[in-house]
Amino acid sequence: MGPLADGISNFRDEWDNFLPSELAESGVPLNREEFSLRDPFSEDYSNFRQEQSDNKRANESVDDDIRADLLEKPFLMKNPVEEGARGAAAVWRSLRDQLHEETLLLIDSSGETELQMLRRELLAQKAIVEAVSLGLKAQLDRLDSTLSAIVAENSNKKSGVND
Amino acid sequence: MARLVMMLCPPRSFSSLVSTMIGQHPQIYGFPELHLVVRERLWEVMEWEVNRAKFLGPPGMLRAMAELMFGGQTPENVLTAANWLEDRKDWKSVDVMNMIMDKAEEKTGAIYCLEKTPNVSFVPPALERVRRNWPDALYIHVTRHPVGLKKSIEEYVSSLPRFSEEEKQARLDNAMSFWPITQRNILDFCGSLNPGQYIRIRGEDVLSDSHNVMSQVAEFLGLRTDDEAITAMLHPENSPYAYLGPPLAAYGNDMKFVSNPVFRPGKIRMPSLANFFETEEGAVFDDDRKAYLTQLANCLGYS
């Protein structure tokens, strides 16, 4: 499996990818069966994690179907906050390479036509990032004003012990 | 290289507070949660973080790298750190961890580096990974009363926006099992260590008797126990990781802790398992589970 190929954290993988033969003598259970049979809570937890990874796998496959059409059908986005986080990461990952050697080399070594095309592309990307940045700034301003009201309200409650 | 001290505890055991306090000893470098030892290879760690909606990598590790390698915790340095990790995804986690420990020692002269990643206590293979890669590591086991921990988990899970209602409910239903699982893992693991390789402290005692507990920890590690050293440990707010980090790597410590990192001592009223079993929530456990929980709690000094 390649890096980040499978986005699912699976309880089974956690155990099966670990080779007991490589280990020195140990005080902890090193296979799932041994773990599950250890005590009633270990069995409960093992079942909980298995159920969790099964649900996640099922949700991931639904999400993949949705994502295929996401740009054409934005109304399919169920959770704008989650999509925003994923979107920000995707934008960052895709634009990040622009800021490094390959693009710099291209700028330094291209002819006029290529440079004009590259310029248009970079300007378009810059415009998109700036538009999103403006929208986020407005959201942040609104958030900051709500937050300062809450902080003022809570400032007296911070005298208790740590929890 | 500085020697590793690993804090072992379930999440929500005052671990951010206690580890930051211990990490303020002048001869220790206290990291935020690095998350490196949860998996064998760095790309597996990154995948694990993506599943937790941390798309650039472990926030604590990004902050530590920005702080120790790239000149400070700024958004730009966090991105540089993320690129550094991305370019070395095939590295073994242990090598990345040793690298950041070297940087901490270089920069501060620390004798010990303290790492806490509470999730490690859920995964016995991760505990074994630590033992195998750092045979001379020392361990600090931090406990909290099971009922207190359950309440804290419930409060935390309810506040997390990234879980659906269904996921939240599943975690809430299983909140009580997190305590015996992690404590048993830690106890089984510590049973295989050499005598003198670990110490156990109760989080509640740190709050009520901080000076003595911190002195005990310093003595266990063979470090200075003078007033200046112990007083430094009572000021977790002086850690570079005690506050909200830059965007994209804001945490690496508990969000409640970073919102107010000043140590506020006090005596916590200890809950009672017997009383808990009489509540509606406690009554769902059968006799076997009740007896098991009680025995484990007693073993760790709780009733």
Q: What is the pLDDT of residue A63?
A: 59
| Strand-pair partners of B28 | B112
Q: Which two tokens stand for residue B239?
A: 């850690």
Q: How confident is the model at residue B161 (pLDDT cuts 50, 70, 90)?
A: low
* d(C-alpha B81, C-alpha B107), whole Å: 17
CB-CB contact of B61 with A22 (8 Å) = no
Q: Between A27 and B238, name the one with better pLDDT.
A: B238
CB contacts, 8 Å: A42 with chain B: 180-181, 184
Three-state SS at B142: strand
Tens digits of residue pLDDT in B235-293: 999 999 999 888 778 889 998 899 899 999 999 889 999 999 999 888 889 999 999 99
DSSP codes joined into one string, B156-203: HHHH-TTS-HHHHHHHHHTHHHHHHHHHHHHHHHHHTSPTTSEEEEEH
Gap from B129 CA to chain A (nearest CA, Å): 9
Q: What is the pLDDT of residue A156?
A: 67
* d(C-alpha B101, C-alpha B84), whole Å: 16
CB-CB: which of B47, B79, B181 is closest to A41? B181
Task: Using the predicted structure, report yes or no on whether residue B20 has a pLDDT greater than 80.
Answer: yes
Q: Write down the ipTM of this complex.
A: 0.78
Average pLDDT, chain A: 69
CB-CB: which of B17, B132, B167 is closest to A162? B17
- How remote is the C-alpha of B180 from its chain's centroid? 17
| Strand-pair partners of B8 | B141
Task: Using the predicted structure, report yes or no on whether residue A49 has a pLDDT greater than 80.
Answer: yes
* d(C-alpha B213, C-alpha B224), whole Å: 14
Beta carbons of A7 and B161 less than 8 Å apart = no
Beta carbons of A35 and B123 less than 8 Å apart = no
* d(C-alpha A3, C-alpha B42), whole Å: 9
Would an 8 Å CB–CB cutoff place B194 in contact with chain A? no
Q: Between B287 and A72, name the one with better pLDDT.
A: B287
Task: Using the predicted structure, report yes or no on whether residue A65 has a pLDDT greater than 60.
Answer: no
H-state helical runs in chain B:
15-23, 42-51, 59-68, 75-86, 93-108, 124-133, 146-159, 165-173, 175-191, 203-208, 210-220, 227-233, 255-259, 273-277, 287-299
CB-CB contact of B43 with B89 (8 Å) = yes
Tens digits of residue pLDDT in B173-220: 888 888 999 999 999 999 888 888 999 999 999 999 999 999 999 999
Task: Using the predicted structure, report yes or no on whether residue B127 has a pLDDT greater than 50.
Answer: yes
Q: What is the pLDDT of residue A163?
A: 65
Q: Which residue has tokens 């054409």?
A: A72
Query: Which residues in chain B (135-174) have CB-CB distances under 8 A to chain A?
Result: 152, 161-162, 166-167, 170, 174
- Which of these ranges, A10-24, A82-96, B147-161, has the smallest mean pLDDT? A10-24
| Other residues' Cβ atoms within 10 Å of the Cβ of residue B118 | 22
- Which of these ranges, A135-144, A150-159, B260-269, has the smallest mean pLDDT? A150-159
Gap from B249 CA to chain A (nearest CA, Å): 12
Q: What is the pLDDT of residue A122?
A: 79
Beta carbons of A82 and B167 less than 8 Å apart = no
Average pLDDT, chain B: 92
Q: What is the pLDDT of residue B242?
A: 96
Beta carbons of B90 and A14 less than 8 Å apart = no
Gap from A137 CA to chain B (nearest CA, Å): 14
Task: Using the predicted structure, report yes or no on whether residue A147 has a pLDDT greater than 70.
Answer: yes
User: Does the predicted TM-score (pTM) go above 0.80?
Assistant: no
